Amino acid sequence: MNEPRVPRLKDVAAEAGVSVSAASKILRGDVGRFGEETCRRVVATAERLGWRRNLLVSSIQSGRTMTVGVMIPPYDSFWVKVLSGIHHRLGEADYLPITIWQGDLDHMPHFEADEQEGLRQINRLLDRRVDALIMWPTFAVAYRRHISDLAERSVPVVVIDYEPDEPICDTVGTNEALAAKTVAKHLLDLGHRRIACISSRESQSQTWALERREEFERAVEVQSDAEVRSWRLNREGTNGVEVATELLTSDFRPTAVFAVTDHEARHVYDAAAALGMSIPSDLSVIGFADLDFAAGLAPPLSTVRQRPREIGVEAASLVLQRLDGTVSGPFTKAKIEADVILRESTAPADQ
């Protein structure tokens, strides 16, 4: 077998007629006082043989792999953009993200069920000595304990869109409070006074859903003659249309609905259509997330667009700062602004 081997540094050194340590130094640009001619020869030889530094070796020696483990599935366009931001920022710094997502994309993965599987995933990354970890909320919730362990091994962790009462690591999220307030103001300004809120399951890992709804309720109630009522989907999030129907046919008779997510807004659309209500003349609807389908709904959905790419970039930046020591000490809570996108699903309330 003459399997074409990847050339070694010693091959380059031999060819160029220098010692291995000389070759090593020269090729790293640490020219020292080596002869100009020698340097040229070594560099040329390396190029000719197609030699490339073995980063695994550097990693072992320096204790830094320049990789970051990323535990975020591309669950929807929001998370894909977050991932894109992470890749972008990390790439700039010559770090490489290593993303892990087992399981299929159709069901939002929950690890409460299979503790072992998640642990296996963390360990696969750790065994490859990633310098840090970025994860999404579901994961963080399931592995709170381990995140603290990681801190002890000085592996910084950043979690996105998750804000437990007592912080366990750095977090990056959307400025939910401000966004919810702006949405409330928009609906109030249009004259709506009976406003419903439809929320998702608000599990432990969805602190944003909770915050979004609560801030929204608070902001509506500032207007003394306005009333707000909230409905929530079941644990599995499977009864969206039923809940939306219930909400629309309740004696509350809302003229506007704020959906904590575009997913729920879509359920409201479906329920309204089935009930023969038309949007926005009978009912204003506003969502959150500006998911792929939002602009394509009929009518196009007004919604709040987060800045997932910025969120990803910020998460990566935080990780890098922890790694180079620029940031140290107490955990950071980064908040990225969101933009209210007005389309055609909101209109003035009937007088």
Q: Would you say 54 or 154 has its CB closer to DNA?
A: 54
| Least separation in angstroms between CB 34 and DNA | 3
Q: Residue length, the chain?
A: 351
Q: Would you say 45 or 317 has its CB closer to DNA?
A: 45
Q: Which of 34, 204, 241, 293 is the binder for a second copy (CB under 8 A)?
A: 293
If one asks whether residue 274 binds a second copy (CB under 8 A), the answer comes out as: no
Q: Would you say 42 or 297 has its CB closer to DNA?
A: 42
If one asks whether residue 300 binds a second copy (CB under 8 A), the answer comes out as: no
| Least separation in angstroms between CB 129 and DNA | 9
Torsion of CA 257, 262, 264, 267, to 10 degrees: 90
- DSSP letters spanning 95-134: -EEEE---S-SSS----SS-HHHHHHHHHHHHHTT-SEEE
Helix H segments across the chain? Answer: 9-16, 20-27, 36-49, 55-62, 77-92, 115-127, 137-142, 144-152, 176-189, 207-221, 240-249, 262-275, 308-324
Q: Would you say 98 or 108 has its CB closer to a second copy?
A: 98
Q: Using CB under 7 A, which of the segments 57-65, 159-167, 193-201, 204-212 binds DNA?
A: 57-65
If one asks whether residue 81 binds a second copy (CB under 8 A), the answer comes out as: yes
- Cα separation, 246 vs 274, whole angstroms: 12
If one asks whether residue 145 binds DNA (CB under 7 A), the answer comes out as: no
Q: What's the distance, CA 200 to chain centroid? A: 18
- Cα separation, 281 vs 348, whole angstroms: 8
In contact, 69 and 98? CB cutoff 8 Å? yes
122: tokens are 């963390």
Q: Which of 30, 36, 127, 166 is the binder for a second copy (CB under 8 A)?
A: 127
If one asks whether residue 8 binds DNA (CB under 7 A), the answer comes out as: yes
Binding site for a second copy (CB under 8 A): 3-4, 6, 50, 52-57, 59-60, 65, 67, 73-74, 80-81, 83-84, 87-88, 91, 94, 96-105, 123-124, 126-129, 149, 152-154, 292-293, 296-298, 309
